Amino acid sequence: MSRNEVLLNIVLVGSVGLCVSCGSNRGASANAANSQGTGASAPTVEVAKVVSKKLAITVRMPGELQPYEGVAVYPKVTAFVDSIRVDRGSVVKAGQPMAQLAAPEIAAQRAEAQSKLQGAEAQRGEAEAKLASDESTYQRLKAASTTPGVVAGNDLEVAQRAVEADRARVESVREGAQAARSALKSVSEIEGYLQVRAPFDGVVTERNVHPGALVGPASGSGVGVPIVRVEKTSRLRLLVPVPEKYVAGVTEGAIVQFSVPAFPKQAFSGKVARIAHSVDVKTRTMPVELDVTNSDGHLASGMFPEVVWPVSRAQPTLFVPTYRRSPELQKQRLSFASGMGIRNGSMSRRAKSMESRPRFSGICGTEMMWPFAVRTNCVLEPM
């Protein structure tokens, strides 16, 4: 073989090897591209099983403790404060004197009414004495008139009319004396208003005046502030604004637990006593009142406890298991498996994670959107 032929064979073998190598690289690239395309068109879909069962959970919501009874004490008459016997924090009993007022004009009115009563009583005595005298005279004339010619008929008739007039005068004087007595009683009662007493057993929570201050009724011309404020704290009201979606299971007589920041390790309880049966259109909540016994005095009005509110429903509720979504699955779809088959729904971006707690209430008969919406024929509520 000549030298030229050997060189030609070497060039041919190198060309064939280069072609084979290029073909293999193109095949590998195509296979990789096909694999990526297949993966993009058929992503992995995670499936969560929905369980339908009775709802019996608890949710935490804020509340407010209020006094069972609370009143701002105003005087019934305009007067000056002569003395005050209680202060903020004083424990009072019903009827206990708390302040003494002074009003000289009321004392003058009482003296005047007493004087009028004494005058009316004197007039009544005089009228009754005159009636007795005239009636005795009439009886004597009447007895003498039985003998003809002894007493003139006119004198007997005059005596009779005098007795009738005396009786009418006595009746009038008696009514005047009764009116004077009632007036004196009224002034005495008004004078009794100068002593301010506690309306019920409780604690003085405010004191707004001191001796020498001018006070008066809330609607009068006096100072428009109460003397003191008294609250009944041995029994409290716990006001809980229950959201609309939780009001279905509210029942009177239920016992509800709560805690307060002042005693974080101590559990308190109250009894559901009053339900408003009306939802506030502004807050979409229904006020519910609980009666709380506070015999030890640990609780105080104005506290904001955390209430462990029980939630229950008569209808079955859909529960979903724990699921955590990775950022790569932001736009993927989630399938729910139930006894009715598999329902696909678009997942919301806000659903970062979910616990094993109810997210919906009701039975869905068609496609539903996770986690807060449904397509058609679905009655679901966010929890």
| Per-residue pLDDT tens digits for 236-271 | 999 999 999 888 878 899 999 999 999 988 999 999
Question: Which pLDDT band, with edges at 50, 70 and 90, does 188 fall under?
Answer: confident
More confident residue, 220 or 253: 253
Query: What pLDDT is attached to residue 245?
Result: 86
Lowest mean pLDDT among 70-74, 128-132, 290-294, 366-370: 366-370
Lowest mean pLDDT among 121-130, 308-317, 371-380: 371-380
130: tokens are 């005159």
CA atoms within 13 A of residue 291's CA, in its CB half-sphere? 11
Query: What pLDDT is attached to residue 4?
Result: 53
Res. 19: pLDDT tops 60: no
Task: In whole angstroms, give the CA distance from residue 140 to residue 157.
Answer: 13
More confident residue, 148 or 42: 148
Cβ atoms 195, 74 nearer than 8 A = no
pTM comes to 0.59
Query: What pLDDT is attached to residue 359?
Result: 44
DSSP string covering 293-344: E-TT----TT--PEEEEEEE-SS-EEE---EE--GGGTT-EEEEEETTEEEE
Query: What pLDDT is attached to residue 53?
Result: 76
Residues sharing a CB contact under 8 Å with residue 83, sequence separation 6 or more, in sequence order: 99, 100, 211
291: tokens are 């009666």
The H-or-E segment that residue 282 falls in is none
| pLDDT tens digits, 77-136 | 889 999 999 999 999 999 999 999 999 888 888 888 888 888 888 888 888 888 888 888
DSSP string covering 75-124: -SS-EEEEEE---TT-EE-TT-EEEEEE-HHHHHHHHHHHHHHHHHHHHH
| pLDDT tens digits, 88-103 | 999 999 999 999 999 9
Res. 356: pLDDT tops 80: no
Read off the pLDDT of each residue in 346-373 and give the average, rounded to a whole number.
Answer: 40
Question: Which pLDDT band, with edges at 50, 70 and 90, does 321 fall under?
Answer: low
